Amino acid sequence: MAISSSQPSRFLSLFTILVLCFSLCVAEIRFSEIRSDDRSIIPFDEFGFTHTGRLELNVSHISLSNPNPELDLSQVGFFLSTRDSWIHVLQQIQDLDITCALQSDLVKVVYTFDRLKGAKSFDSMFPENEANQFTLVFANCLQQLQISMDVRSAMYNLDGKSGRRDYLSAGVTILPRVYFLFFLVYFCLAGLWIYVLYKKRLTVFRIHFFMLAVVILKALNLLCEAEDKSYIKRTGSAHGWDVLFYIFSFLKGITLFTLIVLIGTGWSFLKPYLQDKEKKVLMIVIPLQVVANIAQVVIDETGPYAQDWITWKQVFLLVDVVCCCAVLFPIVWSIKNLREAARTDGKAAVNLMKLTLFRQYYIVVICYIYFTRVVVYALVTITSYRYLWTSVVAGELATLAFYVFTGYKFRPEAHNPYFVIDDEEEEAAAEALKLEDEFEL
Ligand SMILES: *[C@@H]1O[C@H](CO)[C@@H](O)[C@H](O)[C@H]1NC(C)=O
């Protein structure tokens, strides 16, 4: 009758762990269409409630594949569950204490379909006064029963003083302000960079203008994200700001990865052209960024209820990892070339400086990638739902540090290839290079 064998429940635990790890809850008014679905568990949004939380659930066009009135429809319905209690519910099911998650006393049942009494829709309002992070889940414990329905759900907290609705989860409700603050920082950075470009206009390369474009796109992206989140916070939907946000994310993603590759190849610092293999890296990274951005849009807009949500998550992670690895190759090639050049062209000091710079850059790119991909994910999983914004701040700070480092190290003057070096320095550098050859590789 219900999920009792260990196979499906193992699948279930895996599934929910995946869902829980990857969802940064930003609930909003969400409309989901479920069509002839026989999954026993469908997770909807996750939301961090305060003591004045509410869940509005309006379900319409309900139709069951088997309209037999004998069916025990109390085995079908919606409930709210925290992550911790979900683990225990799975344990209860495995131990055969219960046969359906809806029977557990650890979950909060919102609505079971036996209350429908033949109706095709229901509206329900569920007050949630326990401050915690809950996931709205649909359970269908009847085997071979397919369900179609339109689900409109909204979760929000009422603001203490004004009583206004706040559609952002408890831990991320200050995000609009955080994003706006970072927007201001990047706005100032862009201004500063324009000033530097103007002051050093004689030693400016084309790549410096490209860097300016990257900073401006990053600033605009943050501004749209701030607007997007603040509209969601107030009204439960983004009012089109999400489209702008996706456009700028997309442009920012492409330009940032291109910039890392271009700097890595030494384009316009070391040489005015790109080699074939370097162009190939760009030709891999740019389309992959397109795919990554499409995946991101699908993930954000559908939510975990969609059947192939997990697939899109995996596509996104895979593509992201490939992009991150690909951008490292040009830097490694440059380091190798500089090392060889140092040995042959007799300008050891200049080459050693460049070599050190590119090595530092390599390490910083790795740290940046590691921090924003791994550490931030880890933070999301270990921090309490109330402090989820801290992982966003950590990620943004790391990104900011990366931008500042790149701008500072590759600023217009430092790479003037014609700077003068006296013989002593040259000899010392040649020595250093020789030493290095003995130790490395
Ligand atoms: C649900 O229905 C009620 C009354 O019909 C309405 O006031 C409310 O806005 C609806 N909620 C959602 C999330 O659609």
Centroid of ligand 1 to alpha carbon of 124 (angstroms):
8
Predicted pLDDT at 184? 98
Average pLDDT on 51-73 reads 90
Cβ neighbours around 423 below 10 Å, total: 8
- Compute the average pLDDT of residues 154-180: 92
Ligand 1 atom index nearest CA of 29 = 13
Report the distance separating Cα 295 and Cα 364, nearest Å: 27
Query: How many residues in the chain?
Result: 441
Assess whether pLDDT exceeds 60 at residue 23: no
Q: Which residue lies with its CA nearest to atom 5 of ligand 1? A: 123
Helix axes 206-235, 389-409, angle to 10 degrees: 170
- Side chain identity, residue 130: E
- Tell me which residue of 115, 116, 124, 110 sits closest to 56, measured CA to CA: 124
* Among 28, 122, 123, 150, residue to substitute to test ligand 1 (most atoms within 8 Å of Cβ): 123
Picking from 26, 24, 22, 19, the residue whose alpha carbon sits closest to that of residue 238 is 26
CA-nearest residue for atom 4, ligand 1, is: 123
What pLDDT sits at residue 267?
A: 86
Q: Which of 5-9, 24-28, 351-355 has the lowest mean pLDDT?
A: 5-9
pLDDT band (50, 70, 90) for residue 174: very high
Q: Could you give the domains of the chain?
A: 6-166 (no CATH), 174-439 (1.20.1070)
In the reported structure, the alpha carbon of residue 334 is separated from the centroid of ligand 1 by a whole-number distance in angstroms of 60
pLDDT band of 239, cuts 50, 70, 90:
confident
Decide: helix, strand or coil at residue 103: helix
Best residue for ligand 1 mutational test, from 28, 30, 45, 56 (most atoms within 8 Å of Cβ): 56
Distance (Å, whole) CA 234 – CA 176: 11
Distance 56 CA to ligand 1 centre (A): 7
Going from the Cα of 34 to the center of ligand 1, the distance in angstroms, rounded, reads: 19
Instruction: Enter the tokens of residue 61.
Output: 């066009």
Higher pLDDT pick, 58 / 5: 58
Task: Work out the pLDDT band at 422, boundaries 50, 70, 90.
Answer: low
Of 381 and 226, which is predicted with more confidence? 226
CA of 58 to the centre of ligand 1 (A): 6
> Chain-centre distance of CA 210, in angstroms?
25
Task: Pick the residue whose CA is nearest to atom 14 on ligand 1.
Answer: 152
The rounded distance, in Å, linking the Cα atoms of 391 and 397 is 10
Average per-residue pLDDT in the chain?
Answer: 86
DSSP-H helix ranges across 236-275: 241-265
In eight-state DSSP terms, residue 74 is G
Closest ligand 1 atom, residue 154 Cα: 13
3-state secondary structure of 139: strand
- pLDDT value for 24: 45
pLDDT of 65-94, one tens digit each? 887 878 889 999 999 999 889 999 999 999
Of these ranges, 290-299, 347-356, 397-406, the one predicted with the greatest mean pLDDT is 397-406
pLDDT tier, 193 (very low <50, low <70, confident <90, very high otherwise)? very high
| pLDDT of res. 199 | 93
- For residue 45, the CA-to-ligand 1 centroid distance in Å is 17
Three-state DSSP class for residue 285 = helix
Is the per-residue pLDDT at 300 higher than 90? Answer: no
Ligand 1-lining residues (CB < 6 angstroms): 29, 56, 58, 123, 152, 154
pLDDT for residue 439 is more than 80: no
Q: What's the gap in Å between 292 CA and the centre of ligand 1?
A: 35
Residues 18, 379: Cα–Cα separation, whole Å: 15
| Best of 45, 47, 55, 58 for a ligand 1 pocket test (most atoms within 8 Å of beta carbon) | 58
Task: Please indicate whether residue 154 or residue 19 has the higher confidence score (pLDDT).
Answer: 154
- What Å distances lie between residue 213 and 248, 261, 409, CA to CA? 12, 15, 17
> Please, what sign has the CA dihedral across residues 181, 182, 183, 189?
positive
What's the distance, Cα to Cα, between the start and end of the chain in Å?
A: 63
Q: How far is the CA of 79 from the centre of ligand 1 (A)?
A: 18
More confident residue, 425 or 8: 425
Distant-in-sequence, close-in-space partners of 38: CB < 8 Å, separation ≥ 6: 65, 140, 143, 144, 145, 146, 147
Residue nearest atom 3 in ligand 1 by C-alpha distance: 123
101 C-alpha to center of ligand 1: Å? 27
Separation of CA 353 and ligand 1 centre (Å): 65
Residue 216: pLDDT over 90: yes
Residue from 372, 391, 369 nearest 380 by CA: 391
Question: Among 83-87, 233-237, 343-347, whose mean pLDDT is lowest?
Answer: 343-347
Backbone dihedral angles phi then psi of residue 266, each to the nearest 5 degrees: 80, 15
Q: Which atom of ligand 1 is nearest to the CA of 125?
A: 1
Alpha-carbon gap, residue 221 to 246, rounded angstroms: 8
- Token pair belonging to 314: 């995996």
Classify the phi-psi angles of 91: left when phi > 0, otherwise alpha if psi is within -120 to 50, otherwise beta.
Answer: alpha
CA-proximal residue: ligand 1, atom 10 (nearest): 58
Mean pLDDT of 266-286: 87
What pTM was estimated for this model as a whole? 0.84
Higher pLDDT, 67 or 391: 391
